[in-house]
Amino acid sequence: RASLPLVINTWPFKDATAAAWDALQSGGSVLDAVEKGCARCETEQCDGSVGYGGSPDETGETTLDAMIMNGDTMEVGAVGDLKRIKNAVGVARAVMEYTSHTMLVGESASLFAENMGFIAEDLTTNKSMNIFSQWLKGNCQPNYRKNVFPDPSQYCGPYKPRATLQPNKMRRHANTHSHD
Amino acid sequence: TIGMLAIDQDGHVAAGTSTNGLTHKVPGRVGDSPIVGAGAYADSEAGAAAATGDGDVMMRFLPSYLAVELMRAGADPSTACKTAISRIKRHYSEFFGAIICANTTGHYGAACNKVPGLSQFRFMVANTESDAPLLKSVDC
């Protein structure tokens, strides 16, 4: 049986569902519901795959990606490779509401966020630092490099491009603990 | 990653995502989550969808956009989700990924690709059927 209103979200992030549902029930818009639901996961660092202190990159930095879309107007706000700002989905909504762009990325997206009043803070935690240091100790495995030397399946970088490209036989590393 | 869809009783639809992406990614790498039509897509005339998984692969097939367009053409949400997953599977049989779909009547569905470590995909639903959010799951 179908019924409206409806909130649905990936993974068993129950607090996020509840936050979105409460937003709807207290008269908020569907945009408010999605923003509040996703922001709850950013705050709670849902299973380490959302928000600050997770998924450090090859330099140990945590960066965030987020988007929000209004199905009535087809407007979209998105941020990619966002640094130093915890509320990524809030910045995505700011892109939608304070620019006529769709997506801002990287350091410039962070400066835009600061100009719009978002607080700049360190997204690194002891946990993400520990993940990073263990990775370095394990010869930087796994990584997402290919056709470079030294052999990325054995060694850390820095890497240089190989003269010849090998056929794409790369084993993919996304899993329950590391995914988008 | 969280992907979320919301539809109110007047049929307004929104979608959103938030993630910290792949662990040990190359600096500068952006996944599928913020890419419209890949991480999520919403159209109040058809419904919404949101995806999660190996974003480097999934974004190439715009699974959320495909699922919404299939629902616009009359597919139920479960079928739309399954079709979006099988489109990727045709090229990357071992990809790690899942998708949730909802149409404007409040029907919803989900689908996932069965790989080691993902045989069942769990997701959350809140509607007037119950006071508290419900944990749902689909077999991959």
A121-176 tens-digit pLDDT: 999 999 999 999 999 999 999 999 999 999 999 999 999 999 988 876 666 677 77
Q: Pick the residue of A74, A104, A180 with the most B CBs within 10 A to test the interface with B by mutation.
A: A180
Residue A168 has a pLDDT of: 67
Q: Degrees (nearest 5) of the Cα angle A99, A90, B68?
A: 80
Residue A169 has a pLDDT of: 61
- Indicate the pLDDT class of residue B131, thresholds 50, 70 and 90: confident
B28 to A106: CB separation less than 8 angstroms, yes or no: yes
Check if the interface score ipTM surpasses 0.90: yes
Instruction: Quote the CA–CA distance of B64 and B78 in Å, as a whole number.
Output: 13
Q: How many CB atoms lie within 10 A of CB A58?
A: 20
Please say if the pLDDT value at position A179 is more than 80: no
CA distance A23 to chain B (A): 10
Residue B130 has a pLDDT of: 84
Tokens (6 digits) for B36: 């419209």
Residue B65 has a pLDDT of: 98
Instruction: Quote the CA–CA distance of A57 and A167 in Å, as a whole number.
Output: 25
Q: What is the pLDDT of residues B6-53, one digit of tens each?
A: 999 999 999 999 999 999 999 999 999 999 999 999 999 999 999 999
| CB-CB neighbors (< 8 A) of B94 in chain A | 172
| CB-CB neighbors (< 8 A) of B15 in chain A | 34, 68-69, 71
A11 to B41: CB separation less than 8 angstroms, yes or no: no
| CB-CB neighbors (< 8 A) of B7 in chain A | 4-6, 30
Q: What share of chain B is helix, strand, coil (3-state, %, to 5)?
A: 20, 40, 40
Nearest to A7 among B6, B35, B58 (CB): B6
Quick check: A18 and B1 in contact, CB under 8 A? no
The dihedral over CA atoms of B124, A47, A63, A65, expressed in degrees to the nearest 10, equals: -10
Residue A131 has a pLDDT of: 98
Residue A2 has a pLDDT of: 77
Q: What DSSP state is assigned to residue B60?
A: G
